[in-house]
Structure 1
């Protein structure tokens, strides 16, 4: 049995222990750690986007080869031109499917990234909060750049399809062909420019992200 004084000491110790447990349970991860979790989830969600890059390059190369072969044949073998044009359209449809998969990956990434807003508001360190806001702005610009790139890429595919459909017309004029080729080339230039902007923003985001991790004293694997 406890004596009176011992009971009081035991009661106080028990209360302190319970308070410690409750406080430990409520503290949870810091805003910086939650931001890290969001950023790394974004990386995972963009894996399907990365997986489309090489197949898209190969399809673009295949279509370019078909186009060059068609141009070399010219008017010498109309049936061959039609067959190659149909093959090129199939390649374009494959490209379209892959760019759609790429877009879905970026869309999922964007939805996850938006969770960072409420965590930034909780950061107490002013400089660290500013760095997080800079990352947020950069990433939002990156998503916006991708939207423009995606739209232009889809437009370029539609113009390519129009071109290969035109090449199956026996009464196609040189003027019609040249006008369509110009549309294709002009759009392709826009795609290349927008792709450069997207890549630059991606590099900037990754740089700022690693700086944030370092400033927040988060131990991370930089090879990711």
Structure 2
């Protein structure tokens, strides 16, 4: 799994899968060390998020190949289109399962991270407190961005499901299909934008976290 500083390029339309960096730490117990422990627990909670990236890429690639094949057939090739649409619908359901696991992982990370708010209030040094507040805000924005991305992705999955179901109907019109594809394109445009924002925030957070660790003297050997 490639970590954040070389983000995965997602095939087709969605998540680049940028992930948090896990660090090592040396230092005695203090608000700064307690905060470190919370931040690293949040990173570990995202292991399931990382694990969904490759399966999603594979599923999206397969679905895209099926869609292209369908588009290469005429609407009169009903039997082939129906069979391929059923295959695509199965993939849509699998994608839904993986994105749900991804969201679950981020929600667990968010729960771990919430402990940071209480701890950062105990930090006395102004410069350290400022950096802690900054990384806290960045991470909160990151979680919110992923939630927005998740909702758009679910909308897109619903649209995909509707499209492949429509393709199985013998009386579907080309105009109807074009309308659905245009709607899907809008969903995926929103997904791409949210994904870029998510990756930017992940990079920003990783940098801010390491800056905080260095200033607090918490950096040991990276794991």
TM-score for the superposition, normalised by structure 1: 0.86
Alignment match, 1:145: 145
More helix by share: 1
Which one has a bigger Cα radius of gyration? 1
Q: Any idea what the Cα deviations from partners look like across 1:16-65, whole Å, max 9, x if unmatched?
A: xxxxxxxxxxxx71000011111111111000001101110111111000
TM-score for the superposition, normalised by structure 2: 0.86
Q: Shift in Å at residue 74 of structure 1?
A: 2.2
Q: What does 1:7-22 correspond to in 2, within 5 Å?
A: none
Q: How far apart, in 2, do the equivalents of 1:175 and 1:52 lie?
A: 35
Q: How far apart, in 2, do the equivalents of 1:150 and 1:216 lie?
A: 35
Alignment match, 2:39: 39
Q: How far apart, in 1, do the equivalents of 2:144 and 2:68 lie?
A: 34
Q: Any idea what the Cα deviations from partners look like across 1:132-161, whole Å, max 9, x if unmatched?
A: 000000000000100100000000000000
Alignment match, 2:161: 161
Between Structure 1 and Structure 2, how many residues are aligned? 196
Alignment match, 1:88: 88
Once superposed, which parts of structure 1, at least 4 consecutive aligned residues long, lie more than 6 Å away?
A: none
Instruction: List alignment gaps of at least 5 residues for structure 2.
Output: 1-27
Which of 1 and 2 has higher RCO (CA within 8 Å, sep 6+)? 2
Instruction: List alignment gaps of at least 5 residues for structure 1.
Output: 1-27
Aligned-residue Cα RMSD (Å) equals 1.0
Q: Shift in Å at residue 76 of structure 1?
A: 4.2
Please tell me whether the aligned partners of residues 213 and 220 of structure 1 are also in contact (alpha carbons under 8 angstroms). Answer: no
